[in-house]
């Protein structure tokens, strides 16, 4: 089952600084405290953070205003046949 949600907060940094940090392995680790992070600023690139607890893919990147990612944790239920076809 697919869920859609949005998260927002006020961060004392520019949109470009946040965007760059979120899509940088070292920046992501510093922002979230989750090590190791393996992420890149490429649309379509897969990523893993929190020692493999979270895995995902960059779906759409619009620097520095918007990034869309699909992700799941190891606690999510196994993907259904429908989920696999969407990839």
Report the pLDDT value the prediction gives residue 11, as an integer from 0 to 100: 85
| Helices vs. strands in the chain: H and E counts, helices first | 3, 3
- In the sheet where 54-62 sits, what is the strand order? 46-49, 54-62, 66-73
**Chain centroid to CA 47: how far?**
7
Write the burial class of residue 69 (CB in 10 Å: 0-12 exposed, 13-18 middle, 19+ buried). middle
pLDDT band at residue 77 using 50, 70 and 90 as cut-offs: confident
Q: What is the pTM of this model?
A: 0.74
Whole-angstrom Cα distance, residue 32 to residue 28?
A: 6
The yes-or-no verdict on residue 23 having pLDDT over 80 is: yes
**Structural domains of the chain in order of their starting residue, each with its CATH number:** 15-74 (3.30.530.20)
The yes-or-no verdict on residue 55 having pLDDT over 80 is: yes
The 10s digit of each residue's pLDDT in 24-49 is 999 999 988 888 999 999 999 999 99
């Amino acid at each position: 089952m697919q869920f859609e949600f949005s998260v927002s907060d006020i961060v004392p940094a520019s949109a470009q600084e946040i965007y760059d940090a979120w899509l940088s392995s070292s920046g992501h680790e510093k922002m979230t405290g989750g090590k190791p992070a393996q992420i890149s600023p490429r649309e379509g690139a897969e990523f893993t953070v929190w020692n493999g607890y979270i895995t995902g893919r960059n779906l759409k990147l619009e620097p520095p205003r918007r990034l869309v990612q699909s992700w799941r944790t190891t606690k999510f239920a196994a993907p259904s046949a429908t989920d696999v076809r969407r990839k």
